[in-house]
A and B are shown apart, each in its own frame.
Chain A
Amino acid sequence: MGNRWVAPKRLLFSNSIKMDPQVIIIGAGIAGLTAAGALAEKGHHVLILEKEAQPGGHVAQWDRLFPSRRPGSEVLDHIRKIMDGRVEIKPGIRINGIIAHDQDFTVLTEEGTSYTGQALLIASGFRLFQAERKEEYGYGIYDNVITSAEVETVFKQGKKLLTSKGTLPQRVALIHCVGSRDEKVGNLYCSKVCCVTGVKQAIEIKEQLPQCEVFSFYMDMRMYDRHFEELYFEAQKQWGVQFIRGRLSECSEAPDQSLIIKTEDTLTGRPLRMIVDLVILLVGFVPEPETGKLVEMLGLSTGEDGFILPSDEHYNDNLTTVPGVFLAGAVKGPATISNTIADARAAALQIDSWLKTKP
């Protein structure tokens, strides 16, 4: 470009016309917030559009995070500090159109507003599997069948885990692979984080209720990341959590509202019946339904698992087939929080490089 300094567009129109953000981020979960902070640090103007009333995504609802069981709020606060004052978040937004122009994108909302940016980061995340879809487990029918997300809420509110009758449970069963690795509900993939979540919650339950028997029913123990395997060992050795290799086949309710679960202990090859006070379903990830609209609007593609496909799974994992449209976080599939933060920073770097190529 030579020595001639060209004033960036926004300075020329700073007072009279609304400043266009350079980057529009869809989703104010941990991925969107992390990327926003990283981009702001590099001097970019970022706008986050969020569909919920509050930012923070799923992490805002978790109590303590695996593997160390540190509070989720600590992580969220740290990420926010980086962003504070430098990033605008608009909550309660529903996107109903995206127009890709030559050099930028205009996002149209149901509220009637529009925003134009030079890069788009899709960080619209995931939903948790709706446990009632796994009909044979009786979620939404039997009172003492709850999800791992509900357990997090109980702990986050500082409450005790109780049965539907308000009593302390004497025996609970944690069920792995709910909504994942399951052709019957249409999700063949593994949701990656549920196993270690199960181990974590088993320990937390034992911590709160030392007298309670805790059984975990698993197919495989996916302890792939740092400190996971040690956490599993701790759960067994220190806390006495019992792990049985067998997937839950059926849950039914006894007259006193306790639950009768049927599994097989596949390691000894014996069918097993057990009466428990609470069944906790470790629900997996499913694609966020709203993302499907974005995929259509932008002409992106999804994998057979329903999550968005990046441009290349190894070396262009944050890019899509559409120049200027980027991806970060669980919108691409199940991911841990550490993975997501790293991924969001990588996406920010990609976006930063890409913006530097623009006039």
Chain B
Amino acid sequence: MGELYDRLAGDVRFVEGLKACLNCGTCTAICPAAEFYAYQPRQIVDILQTHDDQAIESLLKSETIWYCGECMSCVTRCPRGNAPGLLITVLRAASQDLGYFVESEKGRQQLAIKRTVGEWILDYGYCLYPSEILPEKHPEQGPVWEWEHEHIEEVMERLGANYKKTGPGILRKVPQEDLDEIRKIFDVTGGTARFNAIENYSKQKAGEMGIDLDDTLDNDYMKKIYTENSQNHGREL
């Protein structure tokens, strides 16, 4: 039993998610990611079942583990009580904490998520925040959102929100002392360490790739990871 396997097996979600796979395929049959990507959740469980550290390390560096949408459809169907979706969360956690995520195009995207959703959790107390959802970064949100964004305070007021104000209510300003508590929780539970790992490994990788990465959202590396798609992620026909 390798070190890497043992590390994964220490996670309760791994214990819950990996019983024994008989390769029936009901997970892959229903998986949305398997419809569009060269991905089979069955394969993930199969590889983990081998306990082979080398195979697991390849997995952590691959594009493969980043295709899953964590919809958990696989969990509903598995006749052995496995949960490929849960195992993916364990693999992604390890991939980031060990720095392997920067070896894949999809894995490198984690920095963009950390600098948006991750930071907003700490700065606002929400995973999303209206002023941050820029229409130009989200053309798919449509002209209504574009209009809403332009008039956000008035629209929020019209719809009954308590935007940026104190007290209870929609999109209220979460008091600083509560945001401080969240930061402390992150510090104590490894959240800050995870954020730092994502940053540090990404900076290292950007250096290796010779691409500019500063602390903002608008540099070459950030643009690259946000938009780059090799078009090579689909199943061979």
**A interface, CB within 8 angstroms of B:** 136, 177, 181-184, 219, 245-250, 262-266, 269-272
Contacts and interface: CB of A to CB of B under 8 A. Distances in A.
B35 A266 contact: no
B24 to A, nearest CB: 4
Given A248-B26, A272-B29, 10 more contacts: A136-B76, A136-B77, A183-B78, A219-B22, A249-B27, A264-B25, A265-B25, A266-B42, A271-B29, A271-B40
B29 A263 contact: yes
Interface string B126-170: 000000000000000000000000000000000000000000000
Interface in B24-49: 24-31, 34-35, 40, 42-43
A68 to B, nearest CB: 30
A136 B79 CA distance: 12
B191 interface: no
Contacts of A245: 25
A274 to B, nearest CB: 11
Nearest to B33: A271
B118 interface: no
Contacts of B235: 270
Most A CB within 10 A of own CB, among B24, B31, B79: B24
A236 to B, nearest CB: 20
Nearest to A187: B79
Nearest to A270: B235
B23 interface: yes
A263 B28 CA distance: 8
Contacts of A182: 79
A250 B26 CA distance: 8
A181 B24 CA distance: 10
B79 A266 contact: no
| Shortest Cβ-Cβ A-B pairs, 8 listed | A264-B25, A249-B29, A247-B24, A249-B26, A264-B28, A246-B25, A266-B25, A182-B79
A177 B30 CA distance: 18
B30 A247 contact: no
B78 to A, nearest CB: 8
Contact of A181 (B30, B43, B77, B79): B79
A157 to B, nearest CB: 34
Most A CB within 10 A of own CB, among B22, B25, B77, B80: B25
Contacts of B28: 264, 266, 269, 271
13 contacts: A183-B78, A219-B23, A245-B25, A247-B24, A247-B26, A249-B77, A263-B26, A264-B25, A264-B27, A264-B28, A264-B42, A269-B40, A269-B43
Contacts of B78: 183-184
Contacts of A265: 25
A183 B79 contact: yes
Given A219-B24, A269-B43, A246 B77 contact: no
Contacts of A136: 76-77
Contact of B40 (A248, A250, A263, A264): A264
B110 to A, nearest CB: 27
Given A270-B235, A271-B35, A249 B30 contact: yes
Nearest to B41: A264
A265 B40 CA distance: 11
A170 B74 CA distance: 31
Nearest to B31: A271
A99 B132 CA distance: 78
Nearest to A136: B77
A49 B170 CA distance: 70
Interface in B71-98: 76-81
